[in-house]
Structure 1
Amino acid sequence: MRRFFVIIAGLCVSLAPTALMAQERAAELGQQEYLVACAGCHGESAMGDGPLADLLNISTPNLTELSQANDGSFPYEAILMTIDGRDGVRAHGSQMPIWGERFQSSAASQRGETAEMVARGRILSLVYYLQSIQN
């Protein structure tokens, strides 16, 4: 039995760097997604200073301070739901694009993935990226 736990512990240790690399890769992809989908309003720096920010009737949030505004904890689920937008809760006091619908409708079927899987992957990569740029 002890040997079993040693094997499991060894697997966990050996897979930990792989999981970290996967999250880092997701953040890199999220940065690319961010520059295409979000930087117009939130700015390349994510500080709310995008070229379209002045056209909005609300103040565009600084996305590098999400953790700071949440007592130092990144609000993972809230950010995920805000970006997705399909839950009916509208962010920013006005119509932010419903990225879940946009990502889902633009998804090309690849390797048996559903449009929903592609949309969720794109949203998750954005969340990982936003988490990685917190002050």
Structure 2
Amino acid sequence: MIKRLLPLTLVSLLLAAGMARADDADLGKLEFKNSCAACHGMDGKGGTEMGEFLRIQPPDLSQLQKNNGGVFPTARVYNTIDGRQAVKAHGPRAMPVWGQRYTDDAAQVYADPLLGERTVRVRILALIDYLYQLQRP
């Protein structure tokens, strides 16, 4: 039992230490900054310098809910982030633009597959929560 709790405790402590700064207090914001903001901007609206180099312009992520009849498309967003729903601009599903960070392959990095899967899911759900907060009418 203790052997199973030790990795989880260590990850929790590392996450807590990493979130100590005010800018990093929101895990979803940190995930967005590290994985999405270069193309979508921190406000999610696109129009970044990186966007000038892209053949397909990044969509305005602050309008996901509005463009879906007023309902935030949680399942579609989850499937887009984890690579199940292909997005041409993100590259092939085997290697989306952010690499394997949000796929089941990322879970293989951990000695405990269950811990790895949970970590990936926490990252994705935190990112989805941040995207939800970005929604504008």
Q: TM-score, normalised by structure 2?
A: 0.66
SS of the aligned residue for 2:55 comes to coil
Corresponding residue number in structure 1 for 2:62: 64
Corresponding residue number in structure 1 for 2:124: 123
Q: Structure 1 residues 40, 93: closer, same or farther in 2, change over 3 A? A: closer
Alignment of 1:66-105 (within 5 A): 66-85=64-83, 87=84, 89-92=85-88, 95=91, 97=96, 101-103=100-102, 104-105=105-106
Q: Tell me: higher relative CO, structure 1 or 2? Use CA pairs within 8 A at least 6 residues apart.
A: 1
Q: How many percent of aligned residue pairs carry the same amino acid?
A: 34
2:50 to 49, 52, 64: 52
Q: TM-score, normalised by structure 1?
A: 0.66
Stretches of structure 1 that go unaligned for 5 or more consecutive residues are 1-26
Kindly report structure 1 stretches of 4+ aligned residues shifted beyond 3 Å. 106-113
Structure whose CA Rg is larger: 1
SS of the aligned residue for 2:26 comes to helix
Query: How far is 1:106 from its partner?
Result: 7.7
Do 1:84 and 1:99's aligned partners in 2 also have CA atoms closer than 8 Å?
no
Please tell me the residue identity of whatever aligns with 1:42. Answer: H
